[in-house]
């Protein structure tokens, strides 16, 4: 039997649950575990091979989740308040108004067939940087609701980016 901490992805990689993590430690542990949990190392033991396949899958999923800022932030929300993560959350009214104006701007660019989508993309990138800063500030147990709101805002901006790319 292989002994690892499967409490959560952070514990698995021996990292503190935080938005800011040492990506070099994460990658080093991922590679170490990828080698350690490779099922081909135990071709003669089916039970061990099955266990290693499960650990390998867990390792891959944990790494994929923690290496990306937004998925890591969502994971923090999920482990801080697993039962509240589906709670209906209202985005701030000022953000929604700003996004309504931005959607109108996208519509205008699409109708006029101007080549200003680059500036719209830049605006999306700037908004995402602002939101990432908010996520970093709110990635604590005490501010988990603000973190969820920031994550919803991020997803909204991603949908706008998708819309811009589809029109471009």
5-38 tens-digit pLDDT: 778 999 999 999 888 899 999 999 999 999 998 8
pLDDT tens digit at each of 168 positions of the chain: 567 777 899 999 999 988 889 999 999 999 999 999 887 877 778 888 888 899 999 999 999 999 999 999 999 888 887 665 456 788 999 999 999 999 998 888 888 876 677 888 899 999 999 999 998 888 877 788 888 899 999 999 999 999 888 887
Its pTM stands at 0.76
pLDDT at 84: 54
Distance CA 16, CA 68 (A): 16
Total number of residues shown for the chain: 168
């Amino acid at each position: 039997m292989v002994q690892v901490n499967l409490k959560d992805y952070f514990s698995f990689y021996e990292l503190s649950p935080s938005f800011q993590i040492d990506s070099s430690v994460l990658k080093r542990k991922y590679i170490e575990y990828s080698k350690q949990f490779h099922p081909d190392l135990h071709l003669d033991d089916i039970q061990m091979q099955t266990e290693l396949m499960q650990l390998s899958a867990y390792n891959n999923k944990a790494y994929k989740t923690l290496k990306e800022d937004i998925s890591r932030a969502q994971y923090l929300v999920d482990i801080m308040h697993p039962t509240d993560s589906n709670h209906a959350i209202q985005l701030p009214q000022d953000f929604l108004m700003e996004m309504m104006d931005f959607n109108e701007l996208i519509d205008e660019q699409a109708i006029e067939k101007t080549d200003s989508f680059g500036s719209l993309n830049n605006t999306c990138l700037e908004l995402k940087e602002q939101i990432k800063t908010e996520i970093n500030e709110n990635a604590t147990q005490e501010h988990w609701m603000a973190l969820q709101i920031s994550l919803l805002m991020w997803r909204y901006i991603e949908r706008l980016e998708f819309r811009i790319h589809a029109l471009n």
